[in-house]
Amino acid sequence: MSEKSAVTYTMLQLRFKLRVPPEVLLAESREAATIIASVKGLIWKMWVSRQEEFEIGGIYLFASREAGEAYLNHPIVRAVSSDPAVISTQSQLWDVDNSLSAITRAPLQDAKTKSSRLSVRAKEWAGTNTIAGCSAQRKLSSAMDTGRT
């Protein structure tokens, strides 16, 4: 067993199986990314997709398990999960072993400081740009309506 660190991070793996190609959602996700960047406790997110399988998702690092659990109820996650273009949603929360992750160069050092700075920058951006809804959500609905599913 590895040494316990004072800081406990949580990794979230979130996956959506789609009825439409992933690029339909990903091409219009800049607004969603800005909203996600301001989520309390989020340190970083990697956007992932499997084009052939019509799957998209994310790998997230959170400052705590509570922050990761709270994100699962965030309006962005609820909106995507309930969209008619989404067939299913899967999520898994993982505890991060900091000491072993440090040996394998996981980007954990100063992660909490980076999270705070990024959250402030995202809020500044949101303050200068009106986000009246997620255009990716609208594009998904449009694709469903035009029969591209």
C-alpha 60/C-alpha 45 separation (Å) is: 4
- At which residue do the structure tokens 């999960």 appear? 81
Return the closest-CA partner of residue 28 out of 112, 137, 141.
Answer: 137
pLDDT (0 to 100) of residue 9? 96
Per-residue pLDDT at 49 exceeds 90: yes
Class of domain 10-141: alpha beta
**What residues does each domain of the chain span?**
10-141
Return the closest-CA partner of residue 12 out of 45, 37, 40.
Answer: 45
Mean pLDDT, residues 3-16 taken together: 82
Mean pLDDT, residues 45-61 taken together: 97
Question: Is the overall model pTM greater than 0.85, yes or no?
Answer: no
